[in-house]
Amino acid sequence: MTTNTIAPTMRTSVLTGVKSLEIEDREVPVPGAGEVLIRVSAVGVCGSDVHYYRHGRIGDFVVDGPLVLGHELSGRIAAVGADVDPSRAGQRVAVEPQRPCGKCRECRGGAYNLCPNMEFYATPPIDGAFAEYVLIQDAFAHAIPDNVSDEAAALLEPLSVAIATMRKAHVVPGSSVLIAGAGPIGIICAQAARAFGAAEIIVTDLVEERRQRALSYGATAVIDPSVTDVATAGLDVNAFIDASGAPRAVFSGIKAVRPGGYAVLVGLGNSEMSLPVEHIQNYEISVTGIFRYTDTWPAAIHLVASGAVDLDSLVTGKFGLDQVAEALDSDLDPDSLKSIVYPSN
């Protein structure tokens, strides 16, 4: 079922090489059983998109052919496949951009984010959302209320990362949290920590403007790590969250965690780095990473719809499909936080 007439082709921004993008006309995909076709409204630019654009790889994930970037998205259901409620056509949705197999050990155990057969948007060789239309399973197209904007709905994806992080960090009302990095993920993590009830939220960043911005998004205190060594500052926090990827920040942040606390590594950084193993062992610090999320969209939608988390004010740049290169390079501006691409405009 469709909500209106759909053209047979769509405009798509395709990464054809390092720092090389082309607009291509591609066939509009047809939803199969259990799938919905989404007319894409808004797509957030993520750091992973920028890495693929500038370097052609992230660790073991290598771009070895044309790739469509973009995985933070919202849209409207334009058509539904067999076994999908026809009344969903026309519904505004936020898309959880992954397709787990549902059959492996990890999926059966509830950790579908770790599915070895995962097909994740904009991760080679799976195409992403810098296109007018995309397909997703019916269950991963999450209906959004009218008071959630297209932009905020797209940014439910990084908020989902933050929610998964708070769960891993065991943040509860009254917790003290240290966050390294006041970029997009750090700022969203600060908001999520506040929404989860943290009483103390300390954010570190080398840039004064970013530190001040963190104070308006939930931070109760900020630290310049070039002036204050958080490892010896007596912070004694329940949880440390790294949203910087900087080896020094990770090392110092873990040392700021109290006995029995948690350290969660979120930021994209070096594939290998030194850790304060003696501190981890002697104080039984639980150190883990974050790889996407499971079952976070309902919580994310609630946090935004209720006003507990503000995503709209994070948007600092808006671009059309012909301006994807500009959107990907917008992070070079120190005032940039989140850029949005509008493929269907």
Residues 149 and 27 in one domain: yes
pLDDT digits (tens, 9 = 90+) for 199-219: 999 999 999 999 999 999 999
**Would residue 93 count as lying in a domain?**
yes
- C-alpha separations of 164 from 113, 169, 224, 276, 335 in Å: 11, 9, 26, 24, 27
Phi, psi dihedral angles at 279 (to 5 degrees): -65, -45
- Domain count of the chain? 2
* In a domain? residue 238: yes
Q: Give domain status of residue 298, yes or no.
A: no
The CATH number that applies at residue 279 is: 3.40.50.720
Query: Across residues 88-110, what is the average pLDDT?
Result: 97
Q: How many helices (H) and strands (E) does the chain have?
A: 10, 19
Name the pLDDT band for 4 (thresholds 50, 70, 90).
low
Residues 198 and 249 in one domain: yes
With cut-offs at 50, 70 and 90, classify the pLDDT of residue 5: confident
Look at residue 76 and give its three-state secondary structure: strand
Residue 295 located in a structural domain? no
Do 193 and 132 meet the contact criterion of CB atoms below 8 Å apart?
A: no
Query: Is a pLDDT exceeding 60 seen at residue 1?
Result: no
Judge contact between 279 and 285, C-beta under 8 A: yes
The Cα-based distances of 256 to 106, 126, 167, 172, 196 in angstroms read: 33, 39, 19, 18, 21
| Backbone φ, ψ for residue 86 (5° rounding) | -60, -25
Structure confidence at residue 240 as a pLDDT band (50, 70, 90): very high
Examine the pLDDT at 41 and tell me if it is beyond 50: yes
Residues 185, 221, single domain; the answer is: yes
Q: What is the DSSP letter of 60?
A: T
Query: What is the torsional sign of CA 279, 281, 283, 289?
Result: positive
Domain match, 147 and 229 both = no
Query: Residue 28 domain-assigned?
Result: yes
Tokens, residue 58: 């992230």
The whole domain housing 51 covers 9-155+311-342
Output helix, strand, coil percentages for the chain, rounded to the nearest 5: 30, 30, 40
Taking the CA atoms of residue 135, residue 330, residue 195 and residue 197 in that order, the dihedral angle to the nearest 10 degrees is: 130
Q: Is residue 65's pLDDT more than 50?
A: yes
Terminal-to-terminal C-alpha distance of the chain: 23
Residue pLDDT, tens place only, 149-197: 999 999 999 999 999 999 999 999 999 999 999 999 999 999 999 999 9
Mean pLDDT of 249-276: 94
* pLDDT above 90 for 145: yes
Is the domain of 193 the same as that of 242?
yes
Strands 35-44 and 72-80: antiparallel
* Rounded Cα gap, residues 156 and 74, in angstroms: 9
Residues 232 and 285 in one domain: yes
Q: How confident is the model at residue 60 (pLDDT cuts 50, 70, 90)?
A: confident
Handedness of CA 40, 43, 49, 53 (dihedral sign): positive
